Amino acid sequence: MPKTLAELIAAVPQQAVVTGDAAIEITAPVVESDAEVQPGGVFVARTGMSVDGHDFIPRAIERGAAAIVGEKPITDLPIPYVQFENAQEAVGFLAAAYHDFPSRKLIVIGVTGTDGKTTTSTLIHSILREASKGRAGLISTISADVGDQSLDTGLHVTTPGAPQIQALLAQMVANGLQYAVLEMTSHGLAQGRLNGVDLDVAVLTNVTHEHLDYHKTFENYRAAKGRMFEMLGKSDRKNGRLKLAVINGDDPNADYFIKIVNKAVSASGTSGGATTYGLHSGYWKPLDVRYEPNGTHIFMASMLPDTTELYDEPTEFFTPLIGEFNVMNALAAITTTSWLLRYSGIRAMQRGIEAVTAISGRMERIDEGQDFLSLVDFAHTPNALENVLKACRKMLSEGGRVIAVIGSAGLRDREKRRLMAEVAARLADFTVLTAEDPRTESLDAILETMAQASIAAGGVEGETFIRVPDRGEALYRACQMARKGDIVIACGKGHEQSMAFGTVEYPWDDREAMRAALRGEPLKTLPTASGDRPAEG
């Protein structure tokens, strides 16, 4: 049913200055790009870092916008204009109202953290699909499952934009889904892309060194993650649902987030609170974990509903995923769904965990008949790299070596370059330093920083590490030096489908590049393959 502009404005917790008729009907979506404006829709103009959306208001009107939302005082438009102090914070609420608040009709689980968000989201989604006979949706950095189809969410996209999120949630409602699992990045939270989402469960994987190029300080980064837990108190209370936070008790920041949850729930009058999980700390801890080559067995205490009384034998969960970090991801999923399913969905939880055999670009095996193990992983933070390299060392056969191919992105957290190289020097037997989205920075300078960090950590160039600027050539060199029993792992790109050189996104897939390298031919889609690099700034 069409909404009036006044109804959309009423959903925004900001003061609005309205010029024109707020009773006008809005018959098309709220959008942030003038190119996406449909007749009868709303165009939101905001001042960005490099572009001012207010400059595109005339084009939005030409395309048939029924109303404009912005941040600057404008009085001479031929259609209604709404001024907010912060249009970026408003757009999510406007989009939610246009779609009739779809998240209020779903049980929404948000997942945030530095590492493990996609895997944990996928595990929770798999369990809830089992428990609800397919009535569970997912929005992750890889794809979106809206019930009747799976949609790509982009190349270098983190959390999609607010209008896209609300549209996807509306599709889930239209398809009769019961649950929605949302991966929530710090950028998406800080920029208000999740505003307007009515959240029921908030899950934290961990918080480590990442994205300080954007957030500037660790405290700002942590506070951005904290916005998800504040959302528990801002949710629509009319549905009467309990709100729960599921927090990694092993993370040093656990108490910080628990305080946010308690404050948000108390201030809003919402019923709920926090629970914790972990290998060492937390309410939900495994009794035993057994690592095997084909997967991991996790033994959890079985509990009677709504009690802490143990009964029968421990419940066993098997995940084909490997590594201690994936045990943590599984524990987060088990804790979350135990609460959602009220301990009655043990079989669905077991089946859901076991059904996730692999996640795109996460410890993904690439097999071209070689006599060594080849993996591709998204590990692009020091903590994630440490976790995957430790997992690789546990998988090594006697005499085998870990050969790691790593880089560090340009125009991003510079401190990571040193930390990533130090981790690789400590845990890999041989490291190939190469490109990972240098953007407009000097690739040679990035590699020099990493090389010096490797040397400071005890590495010797030419003996324990080399620099190979072209990533296709780097993977080829790593595979050429591999022997039977070795592990070659490419870290940093995972599922991504492009690499940024200068201001251009070039086609790139680490998995295809690894396959080409294993077949004896480096993939040559990057400008470094020909030596013709873009201008560096």
pLDDT of residue 233: 80
Q: Which domains does the chain have, with CATH numbers?
A: 3-98 (3.40.1390.10), 102-278+325-347 (3.40.1190.10), 364-529 (3.90.190.20)
Question: How does residue 151 score in pLDDT terms, banded at 50, 70 and 90?
Answer: confident
Using the predicted structure, report yes or no on whether residue 303 has a pLDDT greater than 60: no
Cα 238 to Cα 104: distance, rounded to the nearest angstrom: 9
Neighbours of 395 (CB within 10 A): 17
Question: Does 79 or 268 have the greater pLDDT score?
Answer: 79
**Least confident residue range of 201-215, 383-397, 440-454, 520-534:** 201-215
pLDDT of residue 242: 79
Using the predicted structure, report yes or no on whether residue 455 has a pLDDT greater than 80: yes
Cα 457 to Cα 424: distance, rounded to the nearest angstrom: 9
Question: Does 234 or 134 have the greater pLDDT score?
Answer: 134
High-pLDDT (> 90) share of the chain, %:
67
* R_g over Cα of the chain: 24
pLDDT of residue 535: 43
Using the predicted structure, report yes or no on whether residue 532 has a pLDDT greater than 80: no
pLDDT of residue 159: 67
Q: What is the mean pLDDT of residues 110-130?
A: 93
**Least confident residue range of 87-91, 138-142, 174-178, 472-476:** 138-142
Q: What is the mean pLDDT of residues 273-282?
A: 91
Cα 172 to Cα 410: distance, rounded to the nearest angstrom: 37
Q: Please provide the average confidence, as pLDDT, over all residues in the chain.
A: 89
Contacts of 120 (CB under 8 A, 6+ apart): 111, 113, 203, 205, 329, 332, 333
pLDDT of residue 537: 39
Contacts of 217 (CB under 8 A, 6+ apart): none
Question: Does 303 or 483 have the greater pLDDT score?
Answer: 483
pLDDT of residue 209: 60
Cα 19 to Cα 6: distance, rounded to the nearest angstrom: 12
Question: Does 302 or 287 have the greater pLDDT score?
Answer: 287
| Rounded (5°) CA angle 141-144-145 | 145
Contacts of 12 (CB under 8 A, 6+ apart): 84, 90, 93, 94
- Tens-place pLDDT, residues 316-333: 999 999 888 899 999 999
Q: Are 368 and 515 in contact (CB under 8 A)?
A: yes
Using the predicted structure, report yes or no on whether residue 95 has a pLDDT greater than 50: yes
- Tens-place pLDDT, residues 361-401: 888 889 999 999 999 998 888 988 998 999 899 888 889 99
Cα 298 to Cα 187: distance, rounded to the nearest angstrom: 33
For the whole model, what pTM was predicted?
0.81
pLDDT of residue 485: 93
pLDDT of residue 534: 45
Cα 364 to Cα 321: distance, rounded to the nearest angstrom: 10
Question: How does residue 273 score in pLDDT terms, banded at 50, 70 and 90?
Answer: confident
Q: Are 332 and 203 in contact (CB under 8 A)?
A: yes
- Give the residue carrying structure tokens 């020099």: 448
Cα 130 to Cα 353: distance, rounded to the nearest angstrom: 10
Neighbours of 532 (CB within 10 A): 7
- DSSP class of residue 44 equals E
| Rounded (5°) CA angle 504-405-489 | 115
Question: How does residue 304 score in pLDDT terms, banded at 50, 70 and 90?
Answer: very low
Cα 14 to Cα 84: distance, rounded to the nearest angstrom: 7
pLDDT of residue 536: 44
Cα 249 to Cα 492: distance, rounded to the nearest angstrom: 27
- Tens-place pLDDT, residues 20-64: 999 999 999 999 999 999 999 999 999 876 789 999 999 999 999
pLDDT of residue 305: 43
pLDDT of residue 312: 55
Using the predicted structure, report yes or no on whether residue 216 has a pLDDT greater than 90: no
Cα 511 to Cα 342: distance, rounded to the nearest angstrom: 40
Question: How does residue 291 score in pLDDT terms, banded at 50, 70 and 90?
Answer: confident
Using the predicted structure, report yes or no on whether residue 307 has a pLDDT greater than 50: no
Q: What is the mean pLDDT of residues 232-237?
A: 68
Question: How does residue 142 score in pLDDT terms, banded at 50, 70 and 90?
Answer: confident
Q: What is the mean pLDDT of residues 467-477?
A: 97
Cα 52 to Cα 359: distance, rounded to the nearest angstrom: 38
Cα 65 to Cα 42: distance, rounded to the nearest angstrom: 6
- DSSP class of residue 348 equals H
